């Protein structure tokens, strides 16, 4: 099954690693779902994840984006 994840799912997955959004992201990263995205959506993920109010470590953001980029880009 091919999926496009809303930015809120990606952000929630990083904020709550044991929550339902994290489970969805892990399914996509494990290959059980086929994660698809455009360059503009990837840029949106990055812009939102880097917002200071989210207080995410830059290394964690880089790792998450690298993992997301492994699937097919449409």
Q: How far apart are CA 49 and CA 5, in angstroms?
A: 14
Question: Is residue 74 assigned to a domain?
Answer: no
Residue 44's domain comprises 2-69
**pLDDT tens column, 18-63:** 999 999 999 999 989 999 999 999 999 999 999 999 999 999 999 9
Is 42 contained in some domain?
yes
Q: Is residue 48 part of a domain?
A: yes
**For residue 72, pLDDT beyond 80:** no
Helix, strand, coil in percent for the chain, rounding step 5:
60, 10, 30
Examine residue 19 and state whether it is found in any structural domain, yes or no.
yes
pTM: 0.85
Rounded Cα–Cα distance for residues 55 and 45 (Å)? 15
Split into its structural domains, the chain has a count of 1
């Amino acid at each position: 099954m091919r999926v496009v994840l809303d930015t809120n799912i990606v952000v929630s997955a990083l904020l709550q690693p044991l929550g339902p959004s994290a489970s969805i992201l892990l399914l996509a990263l494990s290959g059980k779902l086929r994660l698809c995205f455009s360059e503009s959506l990837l840029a949106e993920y990055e812009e939102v994840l880097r917002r200071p109010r989210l207080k995410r470590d830059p290394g964690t953001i880089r790792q998450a984006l690298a993992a997301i980029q492994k699937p097919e880009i449409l």
